[in-house]
Amino acid sequence: MSANVNQNACVVIVGAGHAGGSVAAFLRQYGHEGRIVLIGDEPLLPYQRPPLSKAWLKGEADADSLSLKPADWYAENNVMLRLGGVAERINRSDKTVTLASGEVIPYDFLVLATGARARELPIPGSDLAGVLALRTAADAEQLKNALGPDKRLAVVGGGYVGLEAAASARALGSHAMVIERESRVLARVACETLSHFFQDYHGKHGVAFELNAGVAAFEGRDGHVTGVRFADGRVVACDVALVGVGAVPNDELAKDAGLSTVNGVVVDLEARTDDPSIFAIGDVTHRPLPLYDRQFRLESVPNALEQAKQAASAILGRPGPPPETPWFWSDQYDLKLQIAGLPFDADRQVVRGDVAAAKFAVFHLKGDLVQAVEAVNAPPEFMAGKQLIAKRTPVDANKLADPSVSMKEVAA
């Protein structure tokens, strides 16, 4: 019934996160009938990570709602699971994967969806109980258990994970302090207008900030964290510390197998590595961004889904999915932040709307082309901006800056 090639090929997926779970689902949806083996080092079925720092942390979502597919989906769709399985080695010459358990699994196609891990701080006290990262459901469970009324959370790193966790901690009645090495939060991932806006908003909700602050050590007693010591010697007390200083790709397996890696596994627009039988998808990849004429590593669900579709399509010889504009979202308090594109090569910013009213967007232009838009409680700006980025349609910056001109008209 299907014209798919490789319909009966054996596909082995290493990594059972959002990307790994999705590529299995897309393969079946596209008519693949061969063996699929899904290997994940966590003991859990594929689940969504974004809610871990948001709805889940606040107790507004449960394990069921986090899961990508119900448990019986895998058996019904003949997806063999190796949960708690650690892939130790790829043997490219005989096309097998060796697990730490000793099991050797043969593949026709291999999909690496190994994701990224939280970057660690190489400072004294990092191994104390109560010094946490937030990447997995187990991490989130630990953090959730440590929060509650009047608990003191110290967040090291003012990125999205840290700010979302601080907002959730406040909602749970905990105190929160965000410690950032740079002079502003979100320094690597957002423009200054946004940084200042978010810091202000968090401040109004009772979050304390220490900027330009180096962290020298975590202090502890009886093996449990009791505080954060700054480089200048001051100590701030805490009951729990969250380290959110970025992520590093889990690309060692690929590197050891001789695949090309540059801050992630290098892939093409079919998500294929330099071995035609091996694909890589999601946070672990260093992928082409045709819109910006460069290779980059993205950490986002839409990216994982796009590449899962690319890999499943390429394996089955189907046309690939339409190109996606990179996009991201974050929920903090009553703020919905939606970002489309990346501000590469932008030469000016246009602010539209009212920052003080928490309803605005910052457009990043390169000449008269929109490279990126950061929208706070401004869905029309996000949606229209995303389309403008994809279509490379020139815009009139004066109209863009004028909220009395609708986004439909700006984008027309």
Query: Which residues of this chain interact with other proteins, rule CB under 8 A?
Result: 25, 29, 48, 50-51, 65, 67, 69-70, 73, 77, 301-302, 305, 321-322, 324, 327, 329, 331, 336, 338, 379-380, 383-384, 387, 407-408
**Are 356 and 201 in contact, with CB atoms under 8 Å apart?**
no
Closest approach of Cβ 67 to other proteins, in Å? 8
Beta-ladder partners of 96: 91, 106
3-class SS at 378?
coil
Q: Are 241 and 156 in contact (CB under 8 A)?
A: yes
Least separation in angstroms between residue 182's CB and other proteins is 26
Closest approach of other proteins to the CB of residue 316, in Å: 15
Name the burial class of residue 334, with classes exposed (0-12), middle (13-18) and buried (19+) by CB atoms within 10 angstroms of its CB. exposed
HSE (CB half, 13 Å, CA atoms) of 126?
Answer: 13
Length, in residues, of the chain: 412
Q: Whose Cβ is closer to other proteins: residue 210's or residue 331's?
A: 331
Distance in Å, CB of 136 to other proteins, minimum: 17
Residue 179's closest CA among 245, 133, 135? 245
Tell me whether residue 48 or residue 371 sits nearer to other proteins (CB atom): 48
- What's the Rg (C-alpha) of the chain? 22
Angstrom distances, CA of residue 383 to CA of 132, 249, 353, 406:
35, 30, 15, 12
* Least distance between other proteins and beta carbon 187 (Å): 23
Report in angstroms how near the CB of residue 68 gets to other proteins at its nearest.
Answer: 8
| Of 86 and 358, CB closest to other proteins | 358
Interior angle at CA 257, CA 251 and CA 260, nearest 5: 60
* Residue 297 in tokens: 């590593």
Q: Which residues contact 206 (CB under 8 A, 6 or more apart)?
A: 170, 175, 176
Inter-residue contact 105 to 39 (CB < 8 Å): yes
How far apart CA 335 and CA 375 sit, in angstroms, is 10
Q: Which is nearer to other proteins, 257 or 384 (CB)?
A: 384
Minimum CB distance to other proteins smaller for 182 or for 270: 270
User: Phi and psi (nearest 5°) for 304?
Assistant: -60, -40
* Helix (H/G/I), strand (E/B), else coil: 10: coil
Per-residue DSSP letter, 25: H
Q: Shortest distance, CB of residue 305 to other proteins, whole angstroms?
A: 6
What are the tokens at 353? 């709307």
Beta carbon nearer to other proteins, 255 or 391: 391
377: left (phi over 0), alpha (psi -120 to 50) or beta: left
Q: Pick the closest to residue 144 from 169, 167, 118 (CA basis).
A: 169
Q: How far is the CB of 387 from other proteins (least distance, A)?
A: 7
Closer CB to other proteins, 187 or 383, in the complex: 383
Q: In this complex, which beta carbon is closest to other proteins, that of residue 201 or of residue 218?
A: 201
Q: Which is nearer to other proteins, 33 or 120 (CB)?
A: 33
CB of residue 54 to other proteins, shortest distance in Å: 8
Burial class (CB in 10 A: 0-12, 13-18, 19+), 74: buried
Tell me the closest approach of the beta carbon of residue 380 to other proteins, in angstroms. Answer: 5
Name which of 349 and 377 has its Cβ closer to other proteins: 377
